[in-house]
Amino acid sequence: MSMTILSLRAALQSLPENAPEAIISGNFAPHLLRALGFQSEEIYPQYNTGDGAVDKAARKTTEDDVFLYTKSNPYLLLELKGRDVNLSEDTAQYQTTVNQLKRYLLAPNCKTVQWGIITNSCHIQLFRKHGKVIHPATQCLAIDADNIDNVVASIRQKIENPVKALTIAVYNNKGGVGKTTTTVNLAAILTFLGKKVLAIDFDPNQQDLTSSLGLPLSKGSVFEALTERNVELQTTLHPYKFPLKKLSAELRFDVIPADQELTSVPEHILLNHLRSNTLHRKLEFSRQEYDYILIDSPPNWRVFSQLAVYAADVVLIPTKHNNLFSLENAAMAMKKFIPEVQSKKVDGSPIPLPIFFNGEKITPPKLAVAQQEINNILKTAKKEGFNLLPYFYPKYTNASRDLRIHEVPSYANIADSAFLRIPAVYRDRSAHEYYKNLAKEYFLQ
């Protein structure tokens, strides 16, 4: 067959100008998958995801488990389109294709899948899946004969060296919406559920995360690790341990405590030492060590929040249903701050996760008021060219019109916990359930 002779570049060049999907599938996809490192017996066409058939699924052979024969444990999905489908970002066809890929990635037979690719041979984009979270791992790239070998080599580099951790910045410009509480309790519940977790207190002015766990402050070590080339951030770790007496065992997650030294330096001097990517770069080793890295950030869009969001794959935004500013700030992060960071980072990350409501009891009339405010925010955003609907109402489809927003209700024992230096989820059954639901809703498959 021709595919053994043709290079990927030659295959691309020989495609007809208006190649339909069947031609992309027959004359382009096999070369693409080969260039990504997959042999023909490692590829299964029209793979049944359990929620529709994806064009190709692939997985490397392990011992005598050949994917084409066993169809077990797929690793990568490839959804193909013809050149009649416009996959430049921001087209409706692009969004539909991404949604289709996301559906397959989360389908029952794809639990082991870590990567998804969409391409029509003019554009290509790689997505990563971590638990329930799907985020871009490259921008949607235009490909041609000149760049295809490089683009595909960089995608291959990523899928052959998967990163273990999902890095989550917890951010909202509005103060007091539950960023720190969310960070602490998510770290604690994910640890309880068997995950390896690092929590970072990146709010050196308030140091709330550090003090709510009763840990000592960092006293200059984080500043040093961030600014000195040969000092690793791991040197600043402090474990938080919670004994499980009956089992004579303990729960443990790592914390990077707040460093007051970072606040003693004026911001303009700090900015001479810190780059946008400093925290991201310093977390390189940790990303292979932990399942989750959670970063608590201050209620403003200055240096620490900017570094935290840059370091993240996804941004978790707590809001309060009765606080318009917290909702407007969430929209502001989505329209302005997060895209600003995306444009510096080139891999398409970070992306916002849908908002959730934290604290305060919600009665139906109060919910109606919040929805009115959200509708106004969505309308304004739409006029400015942003579709924020999926970030405010993630369950909304034309078929279901579901306006549910995830809630962590107010709970007395959550507020007390800071004084007891123990995360609420380790002391209180209801708090435990709330945060377990949050972890399941957003992160765990």
Ligand X SMILES: Nc1ncnc2c1ncn2[C@@H]1O[C@H](COP(=O)(O)OP(=O)(O)OP(=O)(O)O)[C@@H](O)[C@H]1O
Helix axes 364-383, 324-332, angle to 10 degrees: 30
Buried b (16+ CB within 10 A) or exposed e, 302-312: ebbbbbbbbbb
CA 243 to chain centre: 31
Q: Which is nearer to ligand X, 85 or 315 (CB)?
A: 315
Residue 222's alpha-carbon distances to 28, 200, 226, 278, in angstroms, are 49, 10, 6, 12
Quote the CA–CA distance of 313 and 349 in Å, as a whole number.
5
Smallest distance, ligand X to C-beta of residue 19, A: 51
Residue with token string 């909202």: 172
Q: Which is nearer to ligand X, 32 or 438 (CB)?
A: 438
Binding-site member from 129, 130, 179, 321 for Mg ion (CB under 5 A):
179
* Binding-site string for Mg ion from residue 403 to residue 422, where x marks contact by CB under 5 A and - marks none: --------------------
Quote the CA–CA distance of 294 and 186 in Å, as a whole number.
8
Q: Which is nearer to ligand X, 178 or 348 (CB)?
A: 178
Pairing outcome for strands 356-358 and 318-319: parallel
Region of 61-69, 180-188, 189-197, 330-338 interacting with Mg ion (CB under 5 A): 180-188
Pairing outcome for strands 123-130 and 197-201: unpaired
Residue pair 42/106 in contact by the 8 Å Cβ criterion: no
Residue closest to 314 by CA, chosen among 350, 278, 276: 350
Q: Which residues lie near ligand X (CB under 6 A)? A: 175-181, 203, 206, 208, 299, 358-359, 408, 410-411, 414-415, 418
Query: If contact means CB under 5 to 8 A according to the sort of partner, which of Mg ion, ligand X, none does residue 52 touch?
Result: none
Smallest distance, ligand X to C-beta of residue 215, A: 16
Please count the residues of this chain forming the interface with Mg ion, following the rule CB under 5 A: 3
Q: Which residue is nearest to Mg ion (CB)?
A: 180
Q: Which is nearer to ligand X, 186 or 377 (CB)?
A: 186
Query: If contact means CB under 5 to 8 A according to the sort of partner, which of ligand X, Mg ion, none does residue 221 touch?
Result: none
Smallest distance, ligand X to C-beta of residue 186, A: 11
Alpha-carbon torsion, ordered 183, 186, 190, 195, to 10 deg: -20
Residue 146's alpha-carbon distances to 14, 123, 169, in angstroms, are 14, 13, 37
Smallest distance, Mg ion to C-beta of residue 353, A: 18
Smallest distance, Mg ion to C-beta of residue 396, A: 30
DSSP 359: S
Contacts of 185 (CB under 8 A, 6+ apart): 414, 423, 424, 425, 431, 435
Please report, as a single letter, which amino acid is at residue 225. Answer: A
Smallest distance, Mg ion to C-beta of residue 255, A: 14
Q: Which is nearer to Mg ion, 179 or 345 (CB)?
A: 179
Query: If contact means CB under 5 to 8 A according to the sort of partner, which of ligand X, Mg ion, none does residue 257 touch?
Result: none
Residue closest to 284 by CA, chosen among 398, 165, 129: 165
Q: Which residues pair with 256 in a beta bridge?
A: 200
Query: If contact means CB under 5 to 8 A according to the sort of partner, which of ligand X, Mg ion, none does residue 319 touch?
Result: none
Smallest distance, ligand X to C-beta of residue 151, A: 40
Q: Which is nearer to ligand X, 19 or 303 (CB)?
A: 303
Q: Which is nearer to Mg ion, 12 or 295 (CB)?
A: 295
Q: Which is nearer to Mg ion, 34 or 179 (CB)?
A: 179
Q: Assess 428 for contact with Mg ion (CB under 5 A).
A: no
Q: What are 37's two structure tokens? A: 């490192």
Query: If contact means CB under 5 to 8 A according to the sort of partner, which of ligand X, Mg ion, none does residue 105 touch?
Result: none
Smallest distance, Mg ion to C-beta of residue 206, A: 6
Site for Mg ion in 190-219 (CB under 5 A): 208
Q: Which is nearer to Mg ion, 10 or 420 (CB)?
A: 420
Residue closest to 296 by CA, chosen among 320, 277, 315, 276: 315
Smallest distance, ligand X to C-beta of residue 30, A: 51
Query: If contact means CB under 5 to 8 A according to the sort of partner, which of Mg ion, ligand X, none does residue 350 touch?
Result: none
Q: Which is nearer to Mg ion, 179 or 195 (CB)?
A: 179
Smallest distance, Mg ion to C-beta of residue 308, A: 12
